Amino acid sequence: MSSERNHRVVGSRTKRITAGAIARAALAGILTTAAAAAPAAGDPGAPATAQRPVTDTYHGVRVSDAYRWLEDSSSQEVRDWSAAQNKRTRGYLDSLPQRRPIYNQLLRQISATSSSYYRLYAVGAQVFAFYSEPPKQQPMIGLLTNAADPALTRVIVDPNTINPRGTTAIDWFVPSPDGKLVAASLSDNGSEDGALHLFDVATGKEIVPPILRVQYPTGGGSLAWRADSKGFWYTSYPGPDRPAYEQHFFQQVYFHRLGDAVEKDVYVMGKGLPKVAEIALENRFNAKFVVASVANGDGGEFAHYLIDPNGTVRQITKFQDQIVAATAGPDGALYLISRNNAPHGKLLKLAPGVVDLSQASQLVAESDAVMLSAGQAGGDPIALTAKAIYVRELVGGPSRVAVYDHAGKPRGMLPLPDLASVEEVEPLSDGTLLYSIETYLRPPYFSRYDESVLRSSDTKLVQTSPVSFADAEVVREIVTSKDGTSIPINIVRRTSAKLSGANPVLLNGYGGYAISLTPQFLGASTRLWLDGGGIYVIANLRGGGEFGEAWHQQGALTHKQNVFDDFIAAAEYLIAHHYTNRDHLAIIGGSNGGLLMGAAFTQHPELFRAVVSRVGIYDMLRVERDPNGLFNTTEFGSVKDPELFKALYAYSPYHHVTDGTAYPAIFMATGETDGRVNPAHSRKMIARLQAATNLGRPIYLSINSHAGHGIGSSLSIRVNQSADTYSFLFDQLGMHLAQ
């Protein structure tokens, strides 16, 4: 469900779930049932929703669910209900005088943004990259040279031509070691349900029929070529002969020889791995050896295997070893990031040919900075050249890249501006590296680092935007959470902004899966918000990876309430320090951040004026029953465990909606093809809220039939969703679009 970073790790505190909390949670379930007999005033104008209570018993606690029937997406009744909700929401949004001007401004500014490049992959003197060129709907695969001159870009694969509707996306791509072919996973309608396609680089033509079922959410998919470019290892999922509930699990690895029928592909590994195994194949820095990183669901545990040139598989690490990243270097050695007795990470090395972890030597000791893991957003945590080792590190949200020689001796840092993030470090064949730089207020760009002179220089891979933040600043402040933990927040505002105590403030957070909110260019939508008189705030909450694995664990499993306490502390800080008040504070989040939204407004409905929650998780007792729900049990836990059930029930947003409560205005959005978060969560939560609220503020749901979790959505869908979000917020907070 799935960004990153550092400075200090706060001591872990076990959160007690009291009997009173369970009693209150049980009472919430009873009230859900009672609502059928004595409904609250509710949301005026909302479509009528039948209540058909179903009662489950968990460890002696009876829990009622009045809207279980909304889980059945195949039901015509559910489709009709969804259509009625959509019709109502569109009627509201499309009638807002500012909605069309907001859409037009966003589309104009995003369309005028220059081309951008990301996920660079160097092969010889060629550099493959994702290539985005607004206003085209989808990113393409482009080919550059070491000169990194965008004027020389040649498009290899263009999904906008493959599907002019713009709903086909490239999930990922991998070029062959000889640079003559490129393999890519393509999926439709934001589903991330990908098939493998093989393209000739010289002609751009597809050369063989696609291989199906190589990519699904949440397990993903990957591929690694053999060094001679005559075949590749790839991930595969069970076919249609297996039950539907198994088809997004049990990921395995096969080998395909070019020219052979798919039926001849050879099984390599995967049997015996956990059902929720997520396998990533990698051999970027040494094509002879493939490292298979196996994540145990989404909880941050990894095991590693080495596939040698003849296809032999040997296990290097186990889940309990706490190795969170591994790669093979040009010298044949294995480089590993370990969190064993080092929660911030330390760098280990296994000599060529050695796969016994006990023989590893330590190259770099743990420091205040957090070495990234393989499961976090962005590129590889480690980049290797014949001269140096480059390690991406987090420093509390922003990031840096530390440079070491092959003996582990420090050689400084790659030059960066303040409050920046680096997601890619790509060595080139000419002895230089390209590394990405992104800040909140400047569009992304690449710098070139020359190893021979230890100096960086500008490149032409620079995104330009009609949006300028020259009049804005980012202020990083520290908030004290309920248990005394220090939480950083990043406040983006115009330098001329006056703190009246009533400024419109939009607070964003995530807090889960060790995903960190790193500096990223805020773009057209945040510019629109600032020009409307608003202030934008990003909170680095526990549950993320900003300060290492301890920081993550303090916001996971039975400690999840810490995340919500951190977020509430940030909201209260903004009010206490005269940034805003309760009538002008809005919050926004998606996916796990949608869970955060639900917990925040059910626990403290009085704090917020408006809420935007996208593709969120709300019923924590049923989430593991979702089509891919088991992936989340390593992060949230399972109701099968009594203590974890207590924790889940104590904060589950759906079960803490209370009749007759003055809830803020709420806008939720989901996509019918979302394979990461079941859209049923949004349907049930909206129904419950529409029945319970008593303040007269609207509760809206938008369901897009051509979108999933947001990954792979077309440009037009993304712009329309942003326009919906900001039209809703401007209307609810009384803001006006600046001319």
Q: Say how many Å lie between the first and final Cα of the chain, rounded.
A: 37
Q: Could you give the C-alpha distances from 406 to 372, 384, 428, 625, in angstroms and in order?
A: 19, 9, 18, 47
Cis before 459? omega within 30: no
**How would DSSP label each residue in 419-446?**
SEE---EEE-TTSEEEEEEEESSS--EE
Q: Could you give the C-alpha distances from 355 to 187, 221, 314, 316, 704, in angstroms and in order?
A: 37, 25, 8, 5, 48
d(CA 615, CA 588): 12
d(CA 357, CA 734): 60
Which of 709, 713, 722, 727 is flagged as catalytic?
Answer: 709
Strands across the sheet with 610-614, in order?
Answer: 472-480, 486-494, 535-539, 505-508, 585-590, 610-614, 665-671, 699-704
690 sits in which H/E element: helix 680-692
CA-nearest of 188, 115, 109, 192 to 155 is 115
Long-range CB pairs of 41-46, under 8 A, 24+ apart, other chains included: 41/660, 41/693, 41/694, 41/696, 42/690, 42/691, 42/692, 42/693, 42/694, 43/689, 43/690, 43/691, 43/693, 43/696, 43/697, 43/698, 43/699, 44/696, 45/88, 45/698, 46/88, 46/690, 46/699
591 catalytic? Reply is yes
d(CA 81, CA 87): 10
CB 5 within 8 A of CB 518: yes
59 catalytic? Reply is no
Going by their DSSP bridges, the two strands 665-671 and 610-614 should be labelled as parallel
d(CA 254, CA 30): 51
CA-nearest of 639, 634, 666, 669 to 652 is 639
Q: Could you give the C-alpha distances from 308 to 277, 289, 292, 305, 673, in angstroms and in order?
A: 21, 5, 11, 10, 38
Which of 591, 613, 702, 714 is flagged as catalytic?
Answer: 591
Strands (E), 366-439: 370-371, 382-384, 389-394, 399-404, 410-413, 420-421, 425-427, 432-439
Burial of 441 (0-12, 13-18, 19+ CB in 10 A): buried
Catalytic residues: 591, 709
